[in-house]
Structure 1
Amino acid sequence: MSDIIRRDPRAEWIARNRLHPLHAAMQPAQASWMGPNGVLRKNVHGIGFIGPNGVKRIDRSGAQQGGAIKRSATVEAQLPLHQIAEPSFYIAVVPDMVGGRLSSHDRDLLGLAHGLAGNEGAVLAVIFGEHKETAFDTAGVDRLLILEGSAFTGYSPEQRVQGLRAVDNQFDPHHWLLPDSRNGGGELGRRFAASLGERPSTRVWQVAGERCIGRAGAGAEDLSRPVSRLILAQAECAEPVSEKRHEALPVELSTAVARSLSRIEDLGAVAVDPALIPMSEAEFIFSGGNGIKDWPLFHRTAVALGATEGASRVAVDDGFMTRDRQVGASGTWVTARVYVAVGISGAIQHLQGIGACDKVVAINLDPTCDMIKRADLSVIGESSA
């Protein structure tokens, strides 16, 4: 094939004329891309073709679209690389890493760190033990420090404080950022603040200049105060990084971490009845909708999976589930790691409520429903089969 670039003046003219009926078809639109929260986004406007009368047509069978597809090499969009060769200072972030991966709360924290770092500072992420994350660069990590060893596994807040003290002595970050969460960041941040003798800014949801705003008065009031060196931030404290790639260069401590005389013995996780876990805190949700015909089988399946039960608004209105189990904008917004939707078509308010879920599995008879389009894994079939 010739390497000579051929130009089409008519196509270029149509691309410049926004009022032309073929203008949208001439634009190199992405079919799908990864959103800032790790959810695959699809361009629904990219399907279909322009008919002879200038009206856009969508052929669901695909019979007439085969010949209209423009054959071209797929070019993956590469984000610009953000490099800090010699940072003037560091902003340290200690993510929760629930399940070994960055959560949406962790990504918000990295976005806040870049707001504090500016163009001269670098964001240093401190990770304990093994992890499964592969997207530190797109999450906004400039330097990555992994503290490995059996002493940091499990519930070991005292030893982790010793590790953070070693990082503080070597890198001397301007600010320490930890998630104010129940997954360990809130407790570790307060222990670390007591060890440093610093007064932390807790429950922070906004940082503007030299002041920050946090929740107070049982969450009913806002408290504005100067930004302290150690910040415990809430979810959605800042926009996650999405427009640049970062180096995520590995760094190491120059000295070994001192061993702490532990006064806490980790006996492992305590078995908890999934039915007692609030919907907003559940990690694994098994949700049923109008398509469920055998509800006793649904309950037995949830028990066998060890999942927290959820339901759509239709199932709740029909009396099959209680109101506190309703998922969606009209019920409870959930942030589960895995969300299984059985017999749920996917109303807009329900899709809004599961927007922060990491993985969505849909079981439905209708392959064209919105829940199937939203799901990461789809099963087309009868749920009770």
Structure 2
Amino acid sequence: MSDIIRRDPRAEWIARNRLHPLHAAMQPVQHSWMGPNGVIRKNVHGVGFIGPNGIKRIDRSGAQQGGAAKRTAAVEVQLPLHQVAAPAFYINVVPDMVGGRLSSHDRDLLGLARQLAGSDGAVLAVVFGEHKENAFATAGVDRLLVLDGHEFDGYSPEQRVQGLRAVDNQFNPRHWLLPDSRSGGGELGRRFAASLKERPATRVWQIKGDECIGRAGAGQEDLARPLPRLILAAVECADPVSETRHEVLPLELSTALARSLPRIEDLGAVAVDPAAIPMAEAEFIFSGGNGVKDWALFHQTAASLGATEGASRVAVDDGFMARDRQVGASGTWVTARVYVAVGISGAIQHLQGIGACDKVVAINLDPGCDMIKRADLSVIGESAAILQALIVAVEAYRNGAKRDAA
């Protein structure tokens, strides 16, 4: 047999031509990738994935039989309901809830809580103030306790610690889990631990039996210690819940919270130039690619939205954006809550770089490009007209908010 590797020019042409009807079938399926912390992540929705319960995923979309065009007619699969009628114990989770919704870090934390709860325990999520989340059931929450009140608005660590102390006295959970993040969970967890006079485990990324492993030495070493009651977990500490839905039964405190005068006054958020925010820390990224023809309008839109600017590799190579603005596996891995891609087709390296983003919005002329398939919200049309309409809508919204405030 000859050792010569033969190429298929037609297959290579189809793989490059995004308008070809067989283009999607020629693309490699990404089953796993490396996260921003160096942990290998797996595609839980991929064909053949074996979940933590030992159940193998089955493709019912018809894609394996050439039914990629039938995706629009796919029926949503109803996940099995996990119920805990009389919990033997509670695993309490305090998610950051930035913007009133669960972040990817929060979902990882709930996945870790689900592992600690097992079949006898229940995951109790403690949320401060009003929220906009409607997916607690699929995130692994068995019980939900909302601590509502104006005293929890803004930066109020003292009032929140007082609320957590009341929850701790009533439910006496086996473990407390908080995200070790800059969004508030890290500070709140340390303050709460000090009030309980307990030593928490910080930057935890793995739990094995009665032992937890956390990052130490500027993230270069692992520190193992016995599993404490209070855990501050890092991002990617566990796989998020994906195979079950939960009851999310509401709970209330049996006693009213004691009111006390705060020693800290919240003066509001400090205005920060979005261009000064590092790409890896930005929560709102407005990214442009080869489809952007009017870069002055692109910069104007980003300034109007107050977003941090990003770019694809093509836009950087063409000199429209600086190299430190490049997003992707060959640039910067980003974890934004909202990522807007303007005129970006979605190369595999770029999609890897935005894999940890919560919500992706795509503006593109090609309805069949990979970025449109990845996006949570897609807008098909000319980018210049869409950006101009977006600027008008933002200005109208702000003017209306000013009139309401007056």
Instruction: Report the structure number with the largest CA radius of gyration.
Output: 1
Counterparts of 2:125 and 2:216 in 1: how far apart (Å)?
28
**Amino acid across the alignment from 1:249:** L
Counterparts of 1:95 and 1:163 in 2: how far apart (Å)?
14
Cα deviation 1:312-332 (Å, max 9, x = unaligned): 011112222112111111111
DSSP-derived class of the 2:384 partner: coil
Unaligned segments of structure 1, at least 5 residues: 1-34, 38-42, 50-55
**Residue aligning to 1:108:** 108
DSSP-derived class of the 1:384 partner: helix
Q: How does 1:308-323 map to 2 (within 5 A)?
A: 308-323=308-323
Cα deviation 1:45-79 (Å, max 9, x = unaligned): 73698xxxxxx598x8xxxx9xxx9xx9x864221
**Residue aligning to 2:88:** 88
Q: Which of the numbers 62, 78, 84 marks the counterpart of 1:46?
A: 62
Superposition deviation, residue 246 in structure 1: 1.1
Superposition deviation, residue 301 in structure 1: 1.6
Q: Contact 1:36 / 1:240 at 8 angstroms: preserved in 2?
A: no
**Amino acid across the alignment from 1:335:** T
Q: Contact 1:286 / 1:310 at 8 angstroms: preserved in 2?
A: yes
Q: How does 1:3-14 map to 2 (within 5 A)?
A: none
Counterparts of 1:75 and 1:182 in 2: how far apart (Å)?
39
Superposition deviation, residue 194 in structure 1: 0.2
**Amino acid across the alignment from 2:326:** Q
Kindly indicate whether residue 302 of structure 2 is the aligned counterpart of residue 302 of structure 1. Answer: yes
Superposition deviation, residue 103 in structure 1: 0.8
Residues 1:117 and 1:340: Cα distance change in structure 2 (over 3 Å): same
**Residue aligning to 1:18:** none
Q: How does 1:171-186 map to 2 (within 5 A)?
A: 171-186=171-186
Counterparts of 1:255 and 1:351 in 2: how far apart (Å)?
49
Q: Contact 2:126 / 2:144 at 8 angstroms: preserved in 1?
A: yes
Counterparts of 2:67 and 2:176 in 1: how far apart (Å)?
54
Counterparts of 2:60 and 2:375 in 1: how far apart (Å)?
15
Q: How does 1:116-127 map to 2 (within 5 A)?
A: 116-127=116-127
Superposition deviation, residue 215 in structure 1: 0.5
* Aligned-pair Cα RMSD in Å: 2.3
Q: How does 1:221-300 map to 2 (within 5 A)?
A: 221-300=221-300
**Amino acid across the alignment from 1:209:** G
Residues 1:117 and 1:44: Cα distance change in structure 2 (over 3 Å): closer
Residues 1:189 and 1:370: Cα distance change in structure 2 (over 3 Å): same
Cα deviation 1:293-328 (Å, max 9, x = unaligned): 222222122111111000001111222211211111
Cα deviation 1:215-244 (Å, max 9, x = unaligned): 111111111111111000001101111111
**Amino acid across the alignment from 1:328:** G
Unaligned segments of structure 2, at least 5 residues: 1-42, 46-58, 386-406
TM-score normalised over the length of structure 2 = 0.77
Q: Contact 2:94 / 2:127 at 8 angstroms: preserved in 1?
A: yes
Superposition deviation, residue 384 in structure 1: 2.4
DSSP-derived class of the 1:292 partner: coil
Superposition deviation, residue 36 in structure 1: 7.0
**Residue aligning to 1:19:** none
Counterparts of 2:338 and 2:231 in 1: how far apart (Å)?
29
Superposition deviation, residue 126 in structure 1: 0.4
DSSP-derived class of the 2:280 partner: helix
Superposition deviation, residue 197 in structure 1: 0.2
**Residue aligning to 1:144:** 144
Cα deviation 1:84-133 (Å, max 9, x = unaligned): 11111111100000111111111111111111111111111100000011
**Residue aligning to 2:345:** 345
Bigger shift: 122-131 or 360-369? 360-369
**Residue aligning to 2:333:** 333
Superposition deviation, residue 367 in structure 1: 2.3
DSSP-derived class of the 1:264 partner: coil
Residues 1:254 and 1:363: Cα distance change in structure 2 (over 3 Å): same
Counterparts of 1:349 and 1:256 in 2: how far apart (Å)?
52
**Amino acid across the alignment from 1:46:** G
Counterparts of 1:116 and 1:45 in 2: how far apart (Å)?
33
Counterparts of 2:244 and 2:61 in 1: how far apart (Å)?
25
Q: Contact 2:61 / 2:67 at 8 angstroms: preserved in 1?
A: no
Superposition deviation, residue 211 in structure 1: 0.6
**What percentage of residue pairs aligned between the two structures are identical?**
80
Counterparts of 2:67 and 2:183 in 1: how far apart (Å)?
49
Bigger shift: 166-175 or 275-284? 275-284
Structure with the larger helix share: 2
Q: How does 1:164-203 map to 2 (within 5 A)?
A: 164-203=164-203
Q: Contact 2:109 / 2:240 at 8 angstroms: preserved in 1?
A: yes
DSSP-derived class of the 1:155 partner: coil
Q: Contact 1:36 / 1:242 at 8 angstroms: preserved in 2?
A: yes
Superposition deviation, residue 379 in structure 1: 2.5
Counterparts of 2:331 and 2:311 in 1: how far apart (Å)?
10
Residues 1:120 and 1:377: Cα distance change in structure 2 (over 3 Å): closer
**Residue aligning to 1:155:** 155
Superposition deviation, residue 282 in structure 1: 1.4
Q: Contact 2:364 / 2:381 at 8 angstroms: preserved in 1?
A: yes
Number of positions where the alignment pairs a residue of Structure 1 with one of Structure 2? 329
Kindly indicate whether residue 86 of structure 2 is the aligned counterpart of residue 99 of structure 1. Answer: no
